[in-house]
Amino acid sequence: MSRSASLGAPGEARSVLAIKPFRRLWISLSLSGLGDWLSLLAMVSLAVVLTRDAAPAVPYLAVSGVLALRLLPWLLLSAPAARAADRLDPRFTLVGADALRGLLYLSVPLVGRLDWLLAAHLLAEAAALFRAPAKEAAIGGLVPKKRVAQADRIALLAGYWTAPVAAGLFAVLAGVGTVLGALAPALAGPRADLALYLAPPVLLAAAAIAWTAPVQGRPRTERPEKRPEPAPEPAPQQPAADEQPTQEVRTVEVDPNELTAPIGTAETLQVPALPDPEEQKAKEEARKAEEAKRKAEERARLRAERQAAAEERRKARRTGSETDPLGTLRDGFRSAGSGALPRALLLGMLGSFAAGGALVGVGRILADRLGAGSAGFGVLFGALAAGAVLGVLAGPRTLRQFSRRRLFGLALGASAVALLLIGLIPNMALAAVLSLAVGAGTGLAWTIGLTLLTQEADGPTRPAIPAFAYTAGRTALFAAAVVAPLPALLIGDHTLAVRELTYDVLGSGVVLVIAALAALVVAVLCYRRMNGEPGDVPLVTELLAALRGVPVPGDKGAGEQERPPGTFIVLEGGEGAGKSTQVGQLSVWLRDEGFEVVTTREPGSTRLGMRLRALLLDKEHTGMSPRAEALLYAADRADHVNEVILPALRRGAIVISDRYVDSTLAYQGAGRDLPVSEIARINDWATAGLVPQLTVLLDLPAEDGLARLGGTTDRIEAESQEFHDRVRRGFLDLAERDAGRYLVVDARGPAEQITREIQRRIRPLLPDPVPQDAEAITGMMPVVKDDEG
């Protein structure tokens, strides 16, 4: 199955990053992302360090508070912040927000008090909310319109590849700080931890680079959408007030024709001096009237453009995870969460993020209990983030031949088991390795889940799915991280002693065990929902075959041959039922979805078939013996399967055939009154047992279908009304006997409605999503940071 190229393909990323001004902005965004992660780690760590000597409950509450301050402002204040940021200059906003955050985070270890830590963290988080719309505006001003989507995605990636890097740096510096503290007591203490001072310079560097990036210096609300046509004659006078660019636009190194730019100067008429004052006055008045009219038109055009731009922004807001997370969640649950499969996918994805969130929430305290302090937290966090990135990247390539749905459930289960072991075995090295596994399972499940969820969604709601999933995932992760320290506090730490053996029961460990068990239940539920039907190939058989890269033996539906990987769909029905119409509609839809689709029909889709078709339908052969007729149709089919259908299915294509075996069973069996079982046997042999996964029967009274055809009739169409009635009943009998394989549709309805009904039935049969595209979708992996995702 072929799929369209992904936005995130490396070649495309390179081509967007080749735009120098954007590259500079991207470096700034990446540093800002790095600073985000570093500051989160530093604040959580410092909160624990500063409260070490307080009552035992305080460190837990402090960690919970720090994490809550990352979640709540984003959830509740993003929309008003975005509205305010729309009025600000994007460059100043980017620079100001990062510089302010840098200074705030620098002040926190210097002041060294929990109350200031929380206040500064809140202010910094609030400042960060202004960055998302500014970033959006900046990107729009730096790259050609057609590249904006790619640039957005690449900017988003900056938000999560930086996570493991930040955690690694944090762990190393925290380790170095510990060693220095041991060597020189003056360098010990909460304020001396080097890792706490890393975020500020990184954020300040991000601000400095954003300052030098040629970001278009105008608020988003004032950015015109289109470059105007140059005026035919340059005007000597000033344009009207609302035509003036609000600020000078800096030159950027991209194709100027593709960029947005300010409205140009107004056009005026050159008026030659005339000797006759009356005539001159009349001409002057006409010129003024003309000019007033032109200005009014220009103003109306500008107003319409602004309204359209504002409307576009409002629409974007509705799905904007960064600018309206609450709205995104509300709309997303409504559109993506209906149906058993989407619900199971969402439950699994959010469950695994919540489990990962629990690890983030108790990670710092757990690392302390395991004697690894800030460095240990950095390692746990880094392993979790690196695992998630690996899971996302490897997801599409993992066990390509294995069912994605089963793999989704298995990835969730593996992640839950790894978390369970972290909770049960209090060992830092093991916890680090297992955190990597938790992250990888979560990342893998995320990739698969998001792709399946997108595939399940209806066309119009589809584009909003990644933003929704990202917002929901991030909310689940942070909500779990905020809550997790609280039960850990209630449970407390205990030591169990059985003779000489002791076992440390850590409150944070118990929380992880509880989270893991909940995640395991979710994994089992999802696996059962995803696992297809009874009679499917057993899991172990499929897994072993996928690991060895060989076809699955004994797969359901295999006849004399192994079942090819593609999908075989047949449309059946009487004359004029609308089969060709629906084949056309379905192929357009599926090609749009990125699948390779082969449409075909019987009789007459091969060279031999064309000759057979001519023989069969030619009225010259009226009275042909029914057995000869059945055999000729079977002969056409044998050639058709061999030449067209099987090769396409082996390539993994979706084959949609207009008529197949059931037509012979209905026409020659019921219509000509031949024994249906004998015809079935002949056809089974002719097709080597190839049975479609789905047969759509378009059911229509025979006279209605024949009336639709009009014009001349062929040998079969010209048969009596009774013959066609028997054919119709023949089809309905077949459908009744094999209901699982059939979809019977009332073909009297409008064609569009029929298409939708068939689409609903086909969707679950579609092949598992294939890698390349999944990468485009999974660029939305939720991350713990805020604005770049």
Ligand X SMILES: Nc1ncnc2c1ncn2[C@@H]1O[C@H](COP(=O)(O)OP(=O)(O)OP(=O)(O)O)[C@@H](O)[C@H]1O
Determine, following the binding rule CB under 6 A, whether residue 731 of this chain makes contact with ligand LXEULUCI: no
| Binding test (CB under 6 A) with ligand LXEULUCI, winner from 78, 455, 461, 663 | 663
| 8 A C-beta contact, residue 486 and residue 63 | no
Instruction: Between 321 and 657, name the residue whose CB sits nearer to ligand LXEULUCI.
Output: 657
Which of these, 159, 87, 89, 99, lies nearest to 123 by C-alpha position? Answer: 99
Binding partner of residue 576 among ligand X, ligand LXEULUCI, none, CB cut-off 5 to 8 Å per kind: ligand X
705 marked as part of a ligand binding site: no
- Report the distance separating Cα 38 and Cα 40, nearest Å: 5
CB of 667 to ligand LXEULUCI, least distance (A): 3
Q: How many residues bind ligand LXEULUCI (CB under 6 A)?
A: 12
- Report the distance separating Cα 58 and Cα 307, nearest Å: 51
| 8 A C-beta contact, residue 245 and residue 218 | yes
CB of 668 to ligand LXEULUCI, least distance (A): 6
Cα separation of the two ends of the chain? 31
> Which of these segments, 144-152, 262-270, 344-352, 662-670, binds ligand LXEULUCI (CB under 6 A)?
662-670
Binding partner of residue 708 among ligand LXEULUCI, ligand X, none, CB cut-off 5 to 8 Å per kind: ligand X
SS3 for 503?
strand
Binding partner of residue 348 among ligand X, ligand LXEULUCI, none, CB cut-off 5 to 8 Å per kind: none
Binding partner of residue 602 among ligand X, ligand LXEULUCI, none, CB cut-off 5 to 8 Å per kind: ligand LXEULUCI
574 marked as part of a ligand binding site: yes
CB of 707 to ligand X, least distance (A): 9
Shortest-Cβ-distance residue relative to ligand LXEULUCI: 667
- Report the distance separating Cα 102 and Cα 105, nearest Å: 5
Residues that bind ligand X in the complex, under the rule CB under 6 A: 573, 575-581, 708-709, 747, 750-751, 754
Determine, following the binding rule CB under 6 A, whether residue 470 of this chain makes contact with ligand LXEULUCI: no
| Binding test (CB under 6 A) with ligand LXEULUCI, winner from 716, 734, 747, 774 | 716
Strands 694-699 and 742-746: parallel
Instruction: Between 287 and 708, name the residue whose CB sits nearer to ligand LXEULUCI.
Output: 708
CB of 550 to ligand X, least distance (A): 40
3-state secondary structure string across 581-627: HHHHHHHHHHHHCCCCEEEEECCCCCHHHHHHHHHHHCHHHCCCCHH
497 marked as part of a ligand binding site: no
Which of these, 98, 96, 37, 41, lies nearest to 66 by C-alpha position? Answer: 41
Provide the 8-state DSSP code for 320: -
> Which of these segments, 40-48, 90-98, 491-499, 664-672, binds ligand LXEULUCI (CB under 6 A)?
664-672
Which of these, 199, 255, 269, 198, lies nearest to 227 by C-alpha position? Answer: 255
Provide the 8-state DSSP code for 537: P
The two tokens of residue 253 are 């190194």
- Report the distance separating Cα 380 and Cα 45, nearest Å: 13
CB of 612 to ligand X, least distance (A): 16
CB of 137 to ligand LXEULUCI, least distance (A): 56
Give the x-and-dash track for 628-657 against ligand LXEULUCI (CB under 6 A): -----x------------------------
Instruction: Between 22 and 633, name the residue whose CB sits nearer to ligand LXEULUCI.
Output: 633
- Report the distance separating Cα 263 and Cα 248, nearest Å: 12
Determine, following the binding rule CB under 6 A, whether residue 321 of this chain makes contact with ligand LXEULUCI: no
> Which of these segments, 136-144, 268-276, 449-457, 600-608, binds ligand LXEULUCI (CB under 6 A)?
600-608
CB of 589 to ligand X, least distance (A): 16
Shortest-Cβ-distance residue relative to ligand X: 578
The two tokens of residue 22 are 């954007």
Report the site for ligand LXEULUCI in 491-510 (rule: CB under 6 A).
none
Instruction: Between 260 and 713, name the residue whose CB sits nearer to ligand X.
Output: 713
391 marked as part of a ligand binding site: no
| Binding test (CB under 6 A) with ligand LXEULUCI, winner from 664, 687, 695, 778 | 664
Determine, following the binding rule CB under 6 A, whether residue 332 of this chain makes contact with ligand LXEULUCI: no
Provide the 8-state DSSP code for 768: P
Which of these, 19, 306, 58, 38, lies nearest to 141 by C-alpha position? Answer: 19
Binding partner of residue 663 among ligand X, ligand LXEULUCI, none, CB cut-off 5 to 8 Å per kind: ligand LXEULUCI
Instruction: Between 401 and 580, name the residue whose CB sits nearer to ligand X.
Output: 580
| Binding test (CB under 6 A) with ligand LXEULUCI, winner from 298, 602, 699, 787 | 602
578 marked as part of a ligand binding site: yes
What is the maximum span of the chain, computed from C-alpha positions, in angstroms?
A: 121
Q: Is 623 left (phi over 0), alpha (psi -120 to 50) or beta?
A: left
| 8 A C-beta contact, residue 193 and residue 174 | yes
CB of 649 to ligand LXEULUCI, least distance (A): 19
SS3 for 193?
coil
Chain-centre distance for alpha carbon 776: 7
Supply angle C-alpha 219, 223, 226, rounded to 5. Answer: 170
Half-sphere exposure of 217 (CA within 13 A, CB side): 12
CB of 571 to ligand X, least distance (A): 8
CB of 566 to ligand LXEULUCI, least distance (A): 21
735's enclosing H/E stretch is: helix 721-737
- Report the distance separating Cα 772 and Cα 778, nearest Å: 10
Instruction: Between 464 and 697, name the residue whose CB sits nearer to ligand X.
Output: 697
The two tokens of residue 717 are 């169409």
Report the site for ligand LXEULUCI in 548-587 (rule: CB under 6 A).
575
Instruction: Between 375 and 706, name the residue whose CB sits nearer to ligand LXEULUCI.
Output: 706
Q: How far is CA 653 from CA 266, 472, 550, 656, in A?
A: 57, 34, 19, 10
- Report the distance separating Cα 149 and Cα 296, nearest Å: 35
Q: Cβ of 162: how many Cβ atoms within 10 Å?
A: 26
The two tokens of residue 19 are 């735009």
DSSP for 479-491, please give it. Answer: HHHHHTHHHHHHH
Instruction: Between 199 and 612, name the residue whose CB sits nearer to ligand LXEULUCI.
Output: 612
- Report the distance separating Cα 108 and Cα 112, nearest Å: 6
373 marked as part of a ligand binding site: no
In the annotated binding site, the residues are 573-580
In the annotated binding site for ATP, the residues are 573-580
* Chain residues in the site for ligand LXEULUCI (CB under 6 A): 575, 601-603, 633, 659, 663-664, 667-668, 716-717
